[in-house]
Amino acid sequence: MKRVILLIAVLTASAWLSSCESRRFQFVATLNRTVDFAVDHSGPFKTVRTITAAQIRNNLNVPEGSTIKRVDIEALSIVPETKAGNEATEVKVRGTIKDQGHEVELFKETSIHLTTGVDVGYGVRVPLQKLVDLGISALKTKINDHVSRLNDADIEINLYGTTLPAGKRLLMTVHFDIKATVLYEKCIDTPNFFGGEKCEEGEED
Partner 1 sequence: MKIRLYLLTLFAASQWALGQEIGDYISKYTAENGKGYMQPLADVFGADLNSGLFQGGRLPQVGFHLTIGVKGVTAKIGDDLRTFKATTEEPFSPTQTEKVPTIFGKNEAVAVTGVGGTVYNFPGGFDMDMMPLVIPQATIGTLLGTEATVRYFMANLGEDIGDLKLAGIGVRHSISQYLPLLPIDLSVGYFTQKFSVGEVVEAQAVYYGAQVGKTWGLFCLYGGAGYESTEVTVAYEQEKDVESSRVSFDMKSEDQLRFTVGVGLNLVILKIHVDYNLASPKTLCAGIGFGW
Residue ranges that bind partner 1, judged by CB under 8 A:
3, 6, 10, 13-15, 17-18, 25-34, 59-61, 72-77, 107, 125, 127-133, 136-137, 177, 179, 181, 183, 188, 190-191, 193-196
CB 182 to partner 1: min, Å: 9
- Considering the complex, state which of residue 46 and residue 130 has its C-beta at the smaller distance from partner 1: 130
**3-state SS of the chain: helix, strand, coil percent to 5?**
20, 55, 25
Q: Give strand ranges (E) for 114-154.
A: 121-122, 126-127
Upstream peptide bond of 165 is cis (omega within 30 degrees of 0)? yes
Distance (Å, whole) CA 61 – CA 163: 38
Closest-CA residue to 50 (of 149, 178, 181, 136): 178
17 — phi, psi (to 5°)?
A: -70, -35
**Which residues does 184 contact at the CB level (< 8 Å), separation at least 6?**
26, 27, 29, 62, 66, 67, 68, 69
CB 87 to partner 1: min, Å: 28
Nearest 5°: the CA angle 137, 75, 130 is 75
- Considering the complex, state which of residue 16 and residue 167 has its C-beta at the smaller distance from partner 1: 16
CB 24 to partner 1: min, Å: 8
> Strand 67-82 to strand 169-191: parallel, antiparallel, or no bridges (unpaired)?
antiparallel
CB 16 to partner 1: min, Å: 8
- Considering the complex, state which of residue 29 and residue 112 has its C-beta at the smaller distance from partner 1: 29
- Considering the complex, state which of residue 106 and residue 172 has its C-beta at the smaller distance from partner 1: 106
Distance (Å, whole) CA 44 – CA 46: 7
- Considering the complex, state which of residue 112 and residue 171 has its C-beta at the smaller distance from partner 1: 112
CB 181 to partner 1: min, Å: 5
Distance (Å, whole) CA 79 – CA 149: 30
- Considering the complex, state which of residue 69 and residue 149 has its C-beta at the smaller distance from partner 1: 69
